[in-house]
Amino acid sequence: GSAVAGALGGFNAHAGNIVSAVFIATGQDPAQNVESSHCITMMEAVNGGKDLHVSVTMPSIEVGTVGGGTQLASQSACLDLLGVKGANLESPGANARLLASIIAGSVLAGELSLMSALAAGQLVKSHMKYNRSSRDMSKVAAA
């Protein structure tokens, strides 16, 4: 993704897609997607290749849980579902930090999902199967 494109700020498959989606759902400023999507995704075989260690480093996620779009009904409800709605009076900034962690976790899950689909040769087949084309892909052999 971003490495091939020569993007500054990270090497990831599609962090910006997940960041944008969560930003819109939680009332964040979608224009902050550029800085907030800076992400380095690392995948490393460990334990003799039996396990995979996956991590994302996202140093500049810009979020808030009060003001602006966080006050809209649907976005406020989403923040409430995530347990980060409003200010944390006991620990100022804690809700914003937790929201940033939730976003990073969502990005990690999306990165793992996309890379798994690519490695298994399933990405194009899935796109073709789920209404990206009228072509019948049911008889296409798995890669």
Q: What is the pLDDT of residue 5?
A: 64
Give the tokens for residue 60. Answer: 């500049």
Q: Interhelix angle for 94-119 vs 15-26, to 10°? A: 140
Type and span of the H or E element at 126: helix 123-127
Phi, psi values for residue 39, rounded to 5°: -155, 135
Q: Which of helix, strand or coil describes residue 11?
A: strand
Q: What is the pLDDT of residue 126?
A: 78
Report pTM.
Answer: 0.84
What residue spans define the domains of the chain? Answer: 2-132
Q: What is the pLDDT of residue 124?
A: 80
Give the tokens for residue 6. Answer: 């020569």
Q: What is the pLDDT of residue 2?
A: 62
What is the CATH topology of the domain spanning 2-132?
3.90.770
Checking 91-95 for CB contacts under 8 A at 24+ apart, the result is 95/65
Chunked into runs of 10 residues, the chain (143 residues) has average pLDDT values of 65 95 98 95 97 97 98 98 98 98 98 94 80 64 60
